[in-house]
Amino acid sequence: MSAAMNNMVTPRDVTTSLNYLGEVNEPLFTYAYDSPPGHPKTNVVMVSRPVVVHDARGINPVPTVDREGFALVQRQSGLENFYDEDRVREVYYPECERLLSDLTGASRVVVFDHIVRNAARTNEKGIKMPATAVHNDYTASSGPQRLRDLLPTEAAELLRHRFAIINVWRPLRGPVLDSPLGVCDARSIAPGDLVPNARIYPDRRGEIQAVRFSSEHRWYYFSEMQAEEALLLKCYDSADDGRARFTAHSAFLDPTAPPSSPHRESIETRALVLFKQSRSTDYLRT
């Protein structure tokens, strides 16, 4: 990340609330489509909890993907229209693969999907609202299963080595004032805070992590993010050696943002980050 970019914004913490997992009485599930007749779409109950989201622009040393589970980088995209799915795949996917390869030293990076979010255009196919429940995208089981789903003929060999799943989250326009993305320092999350939530699709079954509230959680965001900035989130790491493995995150309401703030527009890609062998050092070189 450019030090100049970080110094352009005065760090500003936000007092707000986040939607955490409520009472749990049975295994969690959520249908990712219209649930069958007589079945609820989900049994997940959310509870709003007050939190302070600290501005990560004020942190020294800067966060890294292996330590806190997230990091800010500066990288301009050559794509102009992120609402064109074909162009996103043709232009932006390779950009994200190069970015993650450059920063992690991975032997191979495979971007496998993306989501564009814009509350003003959710009537259009594929465009979603900002996600406002505290969650992480993968579990210790669903991370490896996603690799098997995507690279079935190579999975047996690839699973012999370390791999991660990293999201690249980028604003389409800046500065982001509406629904900024909050991320939780992975070091502040205890294993018991993470609860598997089955995601049921028409053709497969996945699993994400819902998150129980803890006063130990340390929340951060990067204020007024611009389109030339990207936030990296590590949602899974096969290495269980003390580095960050899961990064809880959620959009949140900034009550101090001007009411006229435009809807947040963002894109997130998910990528398999493949390593030939484990590395014990912090692999994000900012």
User: Which whole number is the average pLDDT over 36-46?
Assistant: 94
Region of residue 73 (phi > 0: left; psi between -120 and 50: alpha; otherwise: beta):
beta
**How high is the pLDDT of residue 62?**
94
Burial 208-225 (b: 16+ CB within 10 A, else e): bbbbbbeeebbbbbbbbb
**How high is the pLDDT of residue 279?**
42
Structure tokens at 137: 């995208």
**How high is the pLDDT of residue 283?**
41
In whole angstroms, what is the distance from residue 284 CA to residue 74 CA?
13
Q: Could you tell me the pLDDT band of residue 9, with boundaries at 50, 70 and 90? A: low
Cα–Cα nearest to 233, from 206, 263, 198, 209: 209
Number of helices (H) and strands (E), helices first, in the chain? Answer: 5, 15
User: Which whole number is the average pLDDT over 166-192?
Assistant: 97
Q: pLDDT for 129-158, tens place per residue?
A: 999 999 999 999 999 999 999 999 999 999
Whether residue 269 contacts residue 168, with contact meaning beta carbons closer than 8 Å, is answered with: yes
> How confident is the prediction for the chain on average, in pLDDT?
93
**How high is the pLDDT of residue 91?**
98
Whether residue 205 contacts residue 199, with contact meaning beta carbons closer than 8 Å, is answered with: yes
User: Which whole number is the average pLDDT over 75-103?
Assistant: 97
Q: Could you tell me the pLDDT band of residue 275, with boundaries at 50, 70 and 90? A: very high
pTM: 0.92
Domain limits of the chain? 3-274
